[in-house]
C-alpha cells in the first residue's frame, strides 16, 4: 500500500496537465521518465479519475432532451390508437434507454489512455501488489474492455491479485472492494477473473461478497463453483 504522506518531487504536481500537449506514448514516456513509479502512479490515477468523472459539456441539455423524447415515446404507446405509432413510440423508448445506459459508462479520454500505457509499461512483468488498489480504482471508472491499453492493465491486475497476501487483502479500502464486487456481478467478467475476485474478497473478509458467492454456486464453470464454495467457507 502507498504511504499517506509522500515527498513531493519538483514538477510532479503539474505532470498530468502537461500531458495535454502530448500526442504519442513515446512523448508521454519521455515526460514521465524523471518520476519514480511509487510517486507517479497514485497521482496519475487520481487525476485520470477526476477527468473521467468530470461532467461532460452539454451533459444536462442532452439529459433533458432524452427525458422529453422518452416522454414522447411513452405518450405514443399509451395514447395513440394506431399500431404504427405505438411501435414508433416503443422504438423511441428503447433507443433512449440504450443511449442513457451507454452514456453512463464513460469512454476513456486520450490522457487516460496515455496514463494506462505509462502505468502498464512500468508494471509489466512485476507482481507488485501494493499498486493494485490504485489500478482497480482507475479501471473501475473506465471501459477497460474497449481499449487495448486498459485491457493490458486489467490483465496485469488479474495476474497480480493472486499474489496479494491476506493481511494486505484485509486492508483493501471499501471503495476498492466495491469495484471488485461489481466486477464479480457483471456478465462480461470471465470465469478465470471471477475465481480471482472471489478468493481476494474472501481473503479480505468481505462479508458483502457472501450472497454473490452463493449465486455463483450455480455457475456453469466448475472452477467458479469451487471458488464460490471456498469463499463461503472463509466468510463463515
- Asked whether the predicted pLDDT for residue 144 surpasses 70, the reply is no
Mean pLDDT throughout 142-149? 75
Which of residues 183 and 37 earns the better pLDDT score? 183
Which of residues 89 and 197 earns the better pLDDT score? 197
Mean pLDDT throughout 90-108? 59
Contact between residue 168 and residue 199 where contact means Cβ atoms under 8 Å apart = no
Which of residues 93 and 136 earns the better pLDDT score? 136
Mean pLDDT throughout 22-44? 87
What gap in Å lies between CA 204 and CA 188, rounded to an integer? Answer: 23
Q: Which of 102, 107, 101 is nearest to 143 (CA)?
A: 107
Which of residues 18 and 154 earns the better pLDDT score? 154
- Asked whether the predicted pLDDT for residue 91 surpasses 90, the reply is no
Cα 224 to chain centroid, rounded? 21
Contact between residue 209 and residue 199 where contact means Cβ atoms under 8 Å apart = no
* Average model confidence (pLDDT) across the chain: 82
- Asked whether the predicted pLDDT for residue 213 surpasses 90, the reply is yes
Mean pLDDT throughout 194-212? 97
pTM over cut 0.85? no
Q: Which of 111, 119, 107 is nearest to 20 (CA)?
A: 111
Which of residues 159 and 92 earns the better pLDDT score? 159
What gap in Å lies between CA 44 and CA 69, rounded to an integer? Answer: 39
Mean pLDDT throughout 148-176? 95
pLDDT attached to residue 40: 85
Q: Where do we find the cell 504522506?
A: 5
Amino acid at each position: 500500500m502507498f504511504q499517506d504522506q509522500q515527498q513531493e518531487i519538483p514538477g510532479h504536481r503539474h505532470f498530468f496537465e502537461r500531458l495535454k500537449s502530448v500526442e504519442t506514448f513515446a512523448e508521454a514516456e519521455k515526460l514521465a521518465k524523471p518520476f519514480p513509479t511509487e510517486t507517479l502512479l497514485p497521482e496519475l490515477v487520481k487525476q485520470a479519475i477526476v477527468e473521467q468523472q468530470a461532467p461532460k459539456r452539454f451533459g444536462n441539455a442532452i439529459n433533458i432532451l432524452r427525458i422529453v423524447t422518452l416522454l414522447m415515446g411513452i405518450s405514443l404507446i399509451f395514447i395513440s390508437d394506431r399500431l404504427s405509432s405505438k411501435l414508433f413510440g416503443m422504438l423511441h423508448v428503447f433507443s433512449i434507454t440504450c443511449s442513457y445506459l451507454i452514456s453512463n459508462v464513460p469512454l476513456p479520454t486520450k490522457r487516460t489512455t496515455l496514463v494506462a500505457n505509462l502505468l502498464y509499461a512500468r508494471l509489466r512483468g512485476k507482481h507488485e501488489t501494493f499498486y493494485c488498489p490504485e489500478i482497480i480504482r482507475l479501471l473501475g471508472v473506465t471501459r477497460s474492455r474497449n481499449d487495448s491499453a486498459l485491457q493490458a492493465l486489467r490483465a496485469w491486475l488479474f495476474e497480480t491479485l493472486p499474489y496479494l497476501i491476506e493481511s494486505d487483502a484485509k486492508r483493501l479500502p471499501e471503495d476498492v472492494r466495491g469495484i471488485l464486487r461489481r466486477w464479480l456481478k457483471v456478465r462480461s467478467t470471465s470465469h478465470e477473473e471471477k475465481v480471482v475476485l472471489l478468493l481476494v474478497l474472501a481473503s479480505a473478509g468481505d462479508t458483502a461478497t457472501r450472497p454473490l458467492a452463493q449465486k455463483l454456486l450455480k455457475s456453469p464453470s466448475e472452477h467458479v463453483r469451487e471458488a464460490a464454495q471456498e469463499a463461503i467457507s472463509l466468510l463463515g
